[in-house]
């Protein structure tokens, strides 16, 4: 079995605490036509460099029933900046248009097969995976990006078209796994394309 969720597979469920003090599960987003689940964090330069583009994409498609859910699965032991407290501070300061969840056990990251931050998963109304991979082709320096694969996938799907590029490799820092070196990745975690 592939490490990362494959196209057509269903979104794994989760119940995780959010920075707004509530807990969220997949069912809480049942009203979304399209659900974008993305693995992110507080410190990664690829996340920090592309957060505003992700915000613009989330806001652009919000009125078409697209919802975004950010999940931070990074080990706080490896990256103290990825603590829940810093997540709360960041959301209070930046007011991103998504719920921001903490996956302290890393079980959700494993269920989805998250490779990097950011790593996007786009699910249709039936919660089947229709796109996974990167947001931008240059998330660290978003002003130099030439392709927004996430936005392309959303716009094609919402227009009733086939997604031209449903699979890309996520670009970013690897997920920081508990008890592992900062750069460690599971042996079965490989490039998607």
Ordered structural domains, the chain, with CATH:
9-174 (3.40.30.10)
Q: Give the pLDDT score at 83.
A: 97
Q: Enumerate residue ranges in the chain where pLDDT < 70.
A: 1
pLDDT at 184: 86
pLDDT the model gives residue 11: 98
* pTM, entire model: 0.97
Beta strands per DSSP E along 18-73: 23-25, 34-39, 66-72
- Average pLDDT of every residue of the chain: 95
Going across the sheet that includes 66-72, the strands are 99-102, 66-72, 34-39, 119-123, 129-133
Q: How high is the pLDDT of residue 91?
A: 98
Q: What is the reported pLDDT for 189? A: 77
């Amino acid at each position: 079995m592939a490490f990362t969720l494959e196209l057509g597979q269903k979104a794994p469920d989760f119940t995780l605490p959010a920075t707004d003090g509530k807990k969220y599960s997949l069912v809480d987003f049942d009203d979304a036509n399209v659900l974008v689940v993305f693995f992110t964090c507080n410190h990664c330069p690829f996340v920090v460099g592309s957060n505003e583009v992700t915000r613009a994409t989330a806001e652009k498609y919000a009125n078409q029933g697209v919802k975004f859910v950010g999940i931070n699965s990074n080990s706080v032991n490896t990256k103290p900046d990825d603590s829940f407290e810093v997540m709360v501070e960041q959301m209070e300061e930046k007011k991103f248009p998504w719920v921001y969840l903490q996956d302290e056990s890393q079980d959700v990251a494993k269920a989805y097969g998250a490779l990097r931050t950011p790593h996007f998963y786009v699910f249709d109304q039936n919660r089947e995976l229709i796109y996974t991979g990167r947001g931008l082709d240059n998330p660290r320096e978003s002003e130099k990006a030439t392709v927004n694969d996430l936005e392309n996938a959303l716009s094609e799907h919402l227009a009733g078209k086939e997604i031209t590029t449903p699979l890309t490799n996520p670009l970013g820092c690897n997920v920081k796994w508990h008890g592992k070196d900062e750069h460690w990745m599971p042996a079965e975690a490989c490039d998607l394309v």
